[in-house]
Structure 1
C-alpha cells in the first residue's frame, strides 16, 4: 500500500505542481498529518528534488497563520505543499508565498483514503476547463441568489474577481487546494442578507447529520440553529469571523462528501459559503479564521440567470 501512496504522491507532484529535480520543495505539516507529509517528502526526494519537511504545532482553526519561520521558508521554495489538519489556504503566509512566485498547494485535512479514491482521481484537465468557465461567470456577475428548502441568501459580487482552484499549479505564483475543483469569489462585505441551509459539512465539524440554518444580515452571521450551531459560533468567535467571506461552487465530478471539507467543497452538486477571512482572494476581511459550510443541491442565480438547478450546472 505504501508504494500506491508513493505513486499517487509522485503523480501529484509532477502533474499538479510540475516539480523538477532541480527545484526546492518545502512541505509544511503538523503532528496529525505528519505521516502523509512524510510520504510526499519521500516522493519529492525520489525525483532528486531538494525536499524539506517542516513540522509545526497544530493550528487551532482554519485560517490561523503558521509560525514566522515557516512563512519565511514557504516564500523561498520553488514548490510548497501544506499538508495540515487545519487549512492554511486563507492565510497571509500562503498569499505572500504565491506573490513571491512559489507554486503552492494546500491539503487541509487530507486523508489516506483521498490518496486512492475520490477527488484526487479526477481528470484535472477537464476539472481545470470547467473551473475556468464557472470562474468567468462569477467574475462577470454582479449579484448572487441562493435558494434551498424555501430559504434565500443574496449578496452582490460586482467588481470582485472569481478565483479558479483547478488542481493544476504549474506556473510561478499559482496556488490552490489539492485535491481541487472549485470556483470561488469574495462577496461584497456588509451586504449579504437572508438565510441559507447548510446540510453537507462544515470545516472543523465534519459531515452534518442534521442541517444548520444560518441567518445573515448586513453581511454578518446573526443567528445559527441546529445541532452544531453553538460549536460553529464558538469557532467563528464574536468578531469579524462572523462576516460572510466566500461563495464557491464545486467543479470536481469525482469528489465526494466525506466530512472533510477539502474534498466536500469540490463536489459536483454543491456550493459552499464561508465566514471569516477573505483578504487573501480579493476581499477585506482579516479575521484569523475561515470556516466553510457545504450546501447540497441548491438553486443558484447569477444576475437572475439560473446557473444551478438543484445542484446541476445549467449551460456551462
Structure 2
C-alpha cells in the first residue's frame, strides 16, 4: 500500500512513540518485528525508527494465514529466542501463542501490535497511540484492587446486557502499551483485563459497539452464554456475520468466553475502523473469546478475538466500579 507524505509523517510519529515510550529500546538490544507481506511497508518504517535507538533490528515476514496465523508460532516455539524485544505487527494478534509465552517467560520484551484496520489507514497513524501511559495506568489501578478482591463480576447496559462472570483465583491485569508496566509484556490495546473462569459465564451480551476484526455493529444483536460458552446468537444481520466468522475457525473452543476487558483509552473511539482502537475505547467493555493463556487463563483455542459493547454498569461483587462506562469510586460497604 502507498501512503501519502502526511500519512507517513503520522506513522513515523506513532513508531517513535512505540520505540521510546512503549518498548524503551536500547542500543544493544536485538529487536525483531514480526509481520506479513501486507504490512511490510509499516514494518520497514518501524525498523527505520527503531534504528534511531537500537543497532540490531530485524524483520521477519511470515506467511499470511489470516486468523489462524497463531498456529505457525505454536509450531515454532523457539523462533524468538535470539531476541531481547519482539513486536508482533501482523494482521492478527500472536500474543496468545506458545512462542510469545516462551519469549516472555525467558525475560524478553513482547509488544502485541496487530495492525488490522478497516479503512486503509495505517494503525501507526491513529491518534489513540498518543494516550498517556501514566494516565491509563492510574485509571487501571483505581479499579484493579476491587476486581482482584472480587469473586463475581456483573455487567448490565441500557441496551439489555446482563452478564454474570466468575474469577475465583484470577487477578486483573492491564495493558497501556508500556512493557515496563506490564512486566515485559504489553499490548497496543490500552485496557484492563480479567481472565475469567472459562466454564461459568452466564447471561446475555448485547453487542452494540464492534465485532473486532469484522467491524462496526450496524444493528445490535444478542449473544446468550451458558456454562461459559456461547449457546445462542440472535438471528439478525450482524449476528449472522458473527456466527459465520465463528464457524470459519472450525474450532468449538472459540465459543468460550475467556476474557472480560474494560477500555481505558480516552483517545480511542469505537468506530469499527480498527480492532485495537475499538476494544481500547474508554466507555466500553469487551468479552474475549478463545485462547486466554497469555492473560492468565487456562483455555487453549485456535485464536482470540473480542466483541465490544457500550456504556456498561460494572459491579465487582456488590461494588459498582463503572456507571454508564465511566469509572467511579465505589462507596464503602455497609455490614
Instruction: Tell me which interval the TM-score lies in, with the shorter structure as reference length.
Output: over 0.9
| CA drift at 1:189 | 1.8
Structure 1 residues 173 and 65: CA distance shift in structure 2, 3 A: farther
Counterpart among 101, 110, 135 of residue 126 in structure 1: 135
Which of 266, 290, 310 aligns to 1:276? It is 290
When normalised by structure 1's length, the TM-score is 0.92
Aligned residue in 2 for 1:222: 231
Aligned to 2:333: none
The 2-side partners of 1:236 and 1:136 are apart by 36
Shift of residue 237, structure 1, vs aligned partner: 3.8
What's the counterpart of residue 97 of structure 1? 103
The answer for the alignment partner of 1:53 in structure 2 is: 59
- Distance in 1 separating the partners of 2:178 and 2:305: 24
Say whether residues 1:190 and 2:199 are aligned partners: yes
Give the match for residue 299 of structure 2. Answer: 285
SS in 1 for 2:46: helix
Match for residue 160 of structure 2? 150
The answer to whether the Cα contact below 8 Å between 1:75 and 1:98 also exists between their aligned partners in 2 is: no
Structure 2 alignment gaps of length 5 or more? 331-335
Partner of 1:81: 87
Give the deviation of 1:117 after TM superposition. 3.5
> How do 1:60-79 residues align onto structure 2 when only pairs under 5 Å count?
60-61=66-67, 64-67=70-73, 71-79=77-85
Counterparts in 2 of 1:193 and 1:69: CA distance versus 1, 3 Å:
closer
For the 8 Å contact 1:63–1:277, the answer to whether it is kept is no
Deviates more, 1:102-111 or 1:264-273: 102-111
Q: What count of residue pairs does the alignment treat as equivalent?
A: 315
Work out the CA distance in 2 between the residues paired with 1:172 and 1:78: 15
2:268 aligned residue: 255
Aligned-CA RMSD value? 2.1
Match of 2:316 in 1: 302
Q: TM-score, normalised by structure 2?
A: 0.87
- 1:62 is displaced (CA, Å) by 6.3
Specify the alignment match of 1:44 in structure 2: 50
| 1:105-129 deviation line (CA, Å, top 9, x unaligned) | 1111355454343310111111122
Aligned partners of 2:160 and 2:205 also within 8 Å: no
Q: 1 CA distance for matches of 2:187 and 2:212?
A: 14
**Match status 1:135 vs 2:144:** yes
Cα deviations by residue, 1:242-282 (Å, 9 ceiling, x for unpaired): 11110000111111223222111111100000111112222
